[in-house]
């Protein structure tokens, strides 16, 4: 079946790196995503990675994909207070007539001074 | 460019009343459309998705229904709301296997 799992909470000190982890079950997924949700708002796509890639870097964001272990991580360098949000991992599995995007439960990132 | 509109932003409804949330997409044709619910302190749950007019797939049994009367219009409905229907509802669209674009959400409180 399709399932995406992530830890619920992460607390880091301002200026440190944040690493948010995610595991997924569908090995046929083509795309894997990281979304950010700020309080009371919709989701915004932060970054995504194709399943044939191992790593993707975009400014302070680094995505690592381990296909063998079905593990995805998001690293935020130099974490700032504006990075406080819920971060959702998501996968887009193949094999169905529609592209369903399956989300994890979200990791709430809090920043301490 | 493509945009997605979802309304209303907030809604307070009594138990047993009907519900209609509307979502429209502009700037694209034949999008995949989705309704998600985010319960307080929990993650996103896919409720319905649609690949075309009149085609609705339900992911979980519930008190809600969805309809797609036009290519870029997706409606979430209920005949009688329950307290457990409270939550944050998000509409989204995608073009195949690519990223999903989300509306700003509707916060529904059933009292």
Model confidence over A59-79: pLDDT tens digits? Answer: 999 999 999 999 999 999 999
Closest CA–CA distance from residue B18 to any residue of chain A (Å): 24
- Average pLDDT value over all residues in chain B: 90
Angle at alpha carbon of residue B62, lines to B56 and B66, rounded to 5°:
30
Nearest CB partner across the interface for A99, out of B96, B101, B105: B96
Closest CA–CA distance from residue B24 to any residue of chain A (Å): 15
Which pLDDT score is estimated for B38? Answer: 85
Query: How would you list the strands of the sheet with A71-76, edge to edge?
Result: A4-6, A18-24, A71-76, A61-66, A55-58
Which pLDDT score is estimated for B50? Answer: 93
- pLDDT bucket at A97, cuts 50 / 70 / 90: very low
Alpha-carbon span B36 to B92, nearest angstrom: 8
Q: Is the pLDDT reported for residue A94 higher than 80?
A: no
| Best mutation target, A63, A98, A105, to test chain B (most B CBs within 10 A) | A98
Question: In terms of residues, how long is chain B?
Answer: 111
User: Cβ(B82)–Cβ(B23) under 8 Å?
Assistant: no
Which pLDDT score is estimated for A26? Answer: 77
Which pLDDT score is estimated for B62? Answer: 79
Residue A51: DSSP 8-state: T
Closest CA–CA distance from residue B17 to any residue of chain A (Å): 24
Nearest CB partner across the interface for A42, out of B42, B99, B105: B105
Lowest mean pLDDT among A42-51, A71-80, B28-37, B84-93: A42-51
Q: Is the pLDDT reported for residue A10 higher than 80?
A: yes
Closest CA–CA distance from residue A2 to any residue of chain B (Å): 12
Residue contact A31–B90, C-beta within 8 A: no
| Best mutation target, A42, A90, A102, to test chain B (most B CBs within 10 A) | A42
**Exposed/middle/buried for B71, CB within 10 Å: 0-12, 13-18, 19+?**
middle
Over residues B31-70, the pLDDT tens digits come to 999 999 987 666 788 899 999 999 999 987 778 999 999 9
A41: nearest CA partner in chain B: B104
Which is nearest to B106 in space by CA: B37, B41, B49?
B37
Nearest CB partner across the interface for A97, out of B36, B51, B101: B51
Q: Which residue has the higher pLDDT, B35 or A50?
A: B35
- Average pLDDT value over all residues in chain A: 88
Which pLDDT score is estimated for A102? Answer: 83
């Amino acid at each position: 079946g399709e399932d995406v799992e992530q830890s619920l909470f992460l607390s880091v000190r301002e200026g440190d790196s944040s690493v948010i982890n995610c595991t997924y079950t569908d090995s046929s997924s083509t795309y894997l995503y990281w979304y950010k949700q700020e309080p009371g708002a919709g989701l915004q796509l932060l970054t995504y990675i194709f399943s044939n890639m191992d790593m993707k870097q975009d400014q302070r964001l680094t995505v690592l994909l381990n296909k063998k272990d079905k593990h995805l991580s998001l690293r935020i360098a130099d974490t700032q207070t504006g990075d406080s949000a819920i971060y959702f991992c998501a996968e887009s599995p193949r094999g169905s007539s529609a592209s369903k995007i399956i989300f994890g439960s979200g990791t709430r990132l809090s920043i301490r001074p | 460019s493509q945009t997605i509109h979802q309304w209303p932003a907030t809604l307070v409804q009594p138990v047993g009343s009907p519900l209609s949330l509307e979502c429209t997409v502009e700037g694209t044709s034949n999008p995949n459309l989705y309704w998600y619910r985010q319960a307080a302190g929990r993650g996103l749950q896919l409720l319905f998705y649609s690949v075309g007019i009149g085609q609705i797939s339900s992911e979980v049994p519930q008190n809600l229904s969805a309809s797609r009367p036009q290519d870029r219009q997706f409606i979430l409905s209920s005949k009688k709301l329950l307290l457990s229907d409270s939550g944050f509802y998000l509409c989204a669209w995608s073009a195949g296997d690519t990223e999903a674009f989300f509306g700003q959400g509707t916060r529904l409180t059933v009292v």
